[in-house]
Amino acid sequence: MRGIYTSVNEIRKQVFAEIAKLSYEYEEGDEMRLEQIPYDIIKGEATGYRESVFLERAIVEERLRLAMGLPLRPVAEHAPVSKGADECIIPEKYYQPPLINIIKFACHKCPDNVIKVTDACQGCLAQPCAEVCPRDAIRIQKGRSVIDESKCIKCGKCIQVCPYHAITRMERPCAKACGMNAIGSDELGRAEIDQDKCVSCGMCLANCPFGAIADKAQIFQLIQAIKRKEPVYAIVAPAVVGQFGPKLTSKKLRSAFKALGFEDAIEVAIGADLCTIEEANDFINEVPKKLPFMATSCCPAWSVMAKKLFPEYSNCISMALTPMVLTGRLVKKQHPGCRVAFIGPCAAKKLEASRRTIRSDVDFVLTFEELQGMFEAKNIDFDQLEEMQSMHGASGDGRGFAVSGGVANAVAAYIKENYPDREVKIASAEGLEECRKLLTLAKAGKYDGYLLEGMACPGGCVAGAGTIQPIAKSAASVANAKKTSTNAHSSKSNYKDLLDILIEN
């Protein structure tokens, strides 16, 4: 589903655009307009999405609430869509847990880990599926194989030997995408998130084909801050290149943000350069003298996962400030009294920014999808935007943070340049399931002396839950952006002399 523009993407875009439009046009009491928006998005008496236009509007209503930063309404209680919206008309509104939510009546109750015989079964004479089944769970009935679910242990041997590929494993897409095993079923068979396990990576959100999972947003609050004439600076993740199509070039990005009301836009790859330097120095000083290995810190979902599942190695996660925080601090140092909005691909960054220790550095977090809603609301024509001096001032390695392997490679390049006698062994993983395997091996001593990089999203930040473009296409755009950098490596950063000040802030 990733990289394919579907009706789910279209509805999400419309919801974000309507919330952005409401905020730009907002006057006291306008929160009641929320009641009309579902009818503007789902028009008429018929729908092409679900069996009932009323159900589709009810789902849109909950999406609107989440986009406003509001909680889902209890299904068994009557409440208007706008209930509690007056509490959101402030720029100080932060995300309240849970960040990732399942709209229960949108859930399809997908089968979870079921081995099923399809209509492609030919009832062959050899019956290899029955022969290999270790529990005698398969029998031939009316000329085709039938699986006794009470006996089946889901081993998959029948799938492997069927000559017609007529047997398949059906898995709940959201659960399959979750590397934390945080998704189960409620008493009605609908998906349910174990919030104690969830690290807000958003992979369930990105992989649900029914659009039943959504995260909360700060679109409304951000625009309210802009409207109050507060200087709001956008700090933009390096995965932004190419996200909004070929018309929004790197030379037009600053103009695009200014057209939305931002004071200016600065690339987070600047902070990535500083993060590289800090992590490299930490690695040199602490591995293996004090720590058996060191793991990178910039992916919040990976970092939280590591601390939840491997608490005894939490001190092995780098204490370096993330590129988002370093860039936010830099901007606030340069522009006292301003507000900072991180614009990126990541749902988990919302979780990171909601921590009290981070709130003074980053005021808002929006995904590229949510920013697209702002462009839609303001009817921004990319063709008409003025080309400006690039917002970029980072190295190629800093921009490479957006793809899997980029963080570790940047750190290794810095060490090679500044500590040529020191060898850096690297191991990396993408996707939380693979990240767990990586740390399990590290726990067993397989990676002593290594620098470990984990990325929660398969492919890296370019595959985040809030991205728009296909992953491979985005990775190629990042590779091209690296080539345009004046400096290849982070050691040449123009901001490195400020690192100590930013760390102590």
The pLDDT of residue 392 is 67
Structure tokens, 48: 């092409």
CB 315 within 8 A of CB 293: no
Is 2 a member of any domain? Answer: no
- Residue 110's nearest CA partner among 48, 198, 169 is 169
Q: What is the rounded distance in angstroms from the CA atom of residue 243 to the CA atom of residue 246?
A: 8
The pLDDT of residue 196 is 96
Share of the chain above pLDDT 90, in %: 86
Beta-carbon count within 10 A of 184 CB:
14
Instruction: State the residue range of the domain holding 478.
Output: 221-504
The pLDDT of residue 1 is 63
- Cis amide linkage into residue 98, ω under 30° from 0: yes
CB 466 within 8 A of CB 391: no
Same domain, 407 and 449: yes
Which residues have C-beta within 8 Å of that of residue 226, sequence separation ≥ 6? 232, 260, 261, 262
Is 1 a member of any domain? Answer: no
Beta-carbon count within 10 A of 115 CB:
23
pLDDT at 219 over 90: yes
- Which of 170, 192, 212 is the endpoint of a domain? 170
Vertex 495, ends 493 and 498: CA angle to 5°? 140
Vertex 413, ends 408 and 418: CA angle to 5°? 125
Q: What is the rounded distance in angstroms from the CA atom of residue 298 to the CA atom of residue 38?
A: 38
Same domain, 301 and 434: yes
The pLDDT of residue 95 is 83
pLDDT 10s digits, 65-81: 999 999 999 999 999 99
pLDDT at 391 over 80: no
Q: What is the rounded distance in angstroms from the CA atom of residue 90 to the CA atom of residue 130?
A: 63
Fill in the amino acid letter for 430.
E
Confidence band, pLDDT 50/70/90 cuts, at residue 227: very high
- Residue 409's nearest CA partner among 394, 399, 421, 419 is 399
Q: Indicate the pTM of the whole model.
A: 0.95
Q: Got the DSSP string for 157-197? A: HHHHH-TT--EEEE--HHHHH-TT--EEE-TTS-EEE-TTT
Vertex 206, ends 203 and 212: CA angle to 5°? 110
Is 447 a member of any domain? Answer: yes
- Cis amide linkage into residue 292, ω under 30° from 0: no
Is 386 a member of any domain? Answer: yes
| Torsion angles phi and psi, residue 369, rounded to 5 | -60, -45
Same domain, 23 and 142: no
Between 47 and 156, the more confident residue is 156
Is 154 a member of any domain? Answer: yes
How many angstroms separate the most distant Cα atoms in the chain?
A: 78
- Residue 62's nearest CA partner among 93, 90, 95, 37 is 37
Q: What is the rounded distance in angstroms from the CA atom of residue 175 to the CA atom of residue 6?
A: 20
CA dihedral 255, 257, 260, 261 (to 10 degrees): -90
Q: What is the rounded distance in angstroms from the CA atom of residue 371 to the CA atom of residue 377?
A: 10
- Cis amide linkage into residue 288, ω under 30° from 0: yes
| Mean pLDDT, residues 266-278 | 96
- Residue 442's nearest CA partner among 318, 306, 320, 308 is 306
DSSP state at residue 488: S
Helices (H), 113-202: 128-132, 157-161, 173-177
Total structural domains in the chain?
3
Q: Is 83 helix (H, G, I), strand (E, B) or coil?
A: coil
CB 410 within 8 A of CB 397: yes
The pLDDT of residue 284 is 96
Is 288 a member of any domain? Answer: yes
Same domain, 204 and 325: no
Same domain, 277 and 369: yes
Same domain, 22 and 132: no
Same domain, 101 and 28: yes
Q: What is the rounded distance in angstroms from the CA atom of residue 209 to the CA atom of residue 217?
A: 20
pLDDT 10s digits, 317-343: 999 999 999 999 999 999 999 999 999
Cα 383 to chain centroid, rounded: 29
Is 176 a member of any domain? Answer: no
| Mean pLDDT, residues 51-64 | 95
Is 166 a member of any domain? Answer: yes
Same domain, 389 and 316: yes
Tokens 């060191």 map to which residue?
Answer: 294
Tokens 């069927």 map to which residue?
Answer: 162
Same domain, 201 and 337: no
What crossing angle do the helices spanning 253-260 and 368-377 adopt, rounded to 10°? 60
Which residues have C-beta within 8 Å of that of residue 47, sequence separation ≥ 6? 53, 56
pLDDT 10s digits, 101-136: 999 999 999 999 999 999 999 999 999 999 999 999
CATH number at residue 123: 3.30.70.20
Same domain, 206 and 310: no
- Residue 23's nearest CA partner among 61, 59, 69, 62 is 69
- Cis amide linkage into residue 111, ω under 30° from 0: no
pLDDT at 62 over 70: yes
Confidence band, pLDDT 50/70/90 cuts, at residue 505: low
Structure tokens, 5: 């523009």
Same domain, 208 and 243: no
CB 341 within 8 A of CB 366: yes
Same domain, 98 and 208: yes
